Amino acid sequence: MMSALTAALGAVLLVYGGGWYLGYWIGNFSLLLFVLALVTGAYWVAERFRFAPARQAAAEALAAQDAQRRAGLAKMGIEKVDGDIEAARHRLLAQPWWLDWTAGLFPVILAVFLLRSFLFEPFKIPSGSMIPTLLVGDLILVNKFHYGVRLPVLNTKIIANHDPKPGDVMVFRYPVDTRVDYIKRVVGVPGDEVAYLNQKLTVNGKPIETRADGDFYEEDSMRYVPRFTEKLGSVEHRILVNPKYTPFYGPDPKTFPMAEACRYSAEGVVCKVPAGHYFMMGDNRDNSQDSRFWGFVPDQNIVGRAFLVWMNFGNLKRIGSFD
């Protein structure tokens, strides 16, 4: 019965993972790990307190029966007795496959779940919105405790730490669909007035310092794009802005929450960042769907602070920290 139940659970996991991989639905890896930890933990407890003792008792009973048989034969003067129970005893003590793949994996799954939930989480950059800071295919690490400790799955903050500051590269749950994770740069914090007009960024009436920094070659489009160095707060980083590109922000009103805090025009957008929210922008300013289009990121959507490229299989020189 237990083997059939385990096989059924495995089939469900296979269907879920396959559909996720093929794009039939959006998966929630945190929830999946949580469920796997609960299920394998239940098997681990059952193995430790029921199945393993039962196998041990059966092996001891077999040994006792063999000892009793040998003692009886010895009384009859038969000293040499055929038969070795060690192979049978090892078979009785062996863990069945359905426990090996559940209880046996529980410590590993639990360690991954705790590490990923409270310390560091890996992500893969799927789009070019953060070029030139992050390239498509970069595998990055996100510090999960920098902005406070949060309960896994629920994402509820239980211990406060640093507040996001301008210039931070932050991973967050996309406000339009919280099943999806986005990565952008913090431009405005609560109370800031952020203006992006005619491709120029201003925060609280002060133009953000930028300087020309040559051109960047975009491999996908096979073109050169003007690159600039920008300083947000204490963070100096690079951005792409093409003066020949005319962005279109659309007419008022926008339909995202608290859209009344923003004013749109042909030149761009001006937003007053509400309490408990953040204004995010991509470093590839002309190719980024960000707060200019879908609004503010609430604090409860924060996942963590991105800080390291740990691998890019197409370009090992990408490995290292970034601002």
Query: Which whole number is the average pLDDT over 265-276?
Result: 94
- The answer on pLDDT for 17 being more than 90 is no
Catalytic residues: 129, 184
Tell me the fold of 122-321.
Umud Fragment, subunit A (2.10.109)
CB contact set of 82 (below 8 Å; sequence gap of 6+): none
Share of the chain above pLDDT 70, in %: 97
Per-residue pLDDT tens over the stretch 225-252: 999 999 999 999 999 998 888 777 665 5
Tell me which of 75 and 265 has the higher pLDDT: 265
pLDDT at 253: 61
pLDDT at 250: 62
Q: Is the peptide bond before 190 cis (omega within 30 degrees of 0)?
A: no
Instruction: Please state, in angstroms and rounded to a whole number, the distance separating the CA atoms of residues 302 and 157.
Output: 10
| CA dihedral (323, 207, 196, 257) positive or negative | positive
Q: Are 251 and 265 in contact (CB under 8 A)?
A: no
pLDDT at 113: 94
pTM value is 0.86
Using the structure block, give the residue that is written with the tokens 């920008």: 230
pLDDT at 251: 56
DSSP labels for 51-68? Answer: IHHHHHHHHHHHHHHHHH
DSSP labels for 2-67? Answer: HHHHHHHHHHHHHHHHHHHHHTSS---HHHHHHHHHHHHHHHHHHIIIIIHHHHHHHHHHHHHHHH
Instruction: Please state, in angstroms and rounded to a whole number, the distance separating the CA atoms of residues 218 and 186.
Output: 24
Per-residue pLDDT tens over the stretch 51-102: 999 999 988 888 888 888 878 877 887 777 676 788 888 888 899 999 999 9
Which sequence spans correspond to the domains of the chain?
A: 2-113, 122-321
Range of lowest pLDDT (49-63, 182-196, 250-264)? 250-264
* Angle of CA points 228, 231, 237, to nearest 5°: 55
Instruction: Please state, in angstroms and rounded to a whole number, the distance separating the CA atoms of residues 17 and 12.
Output: 9
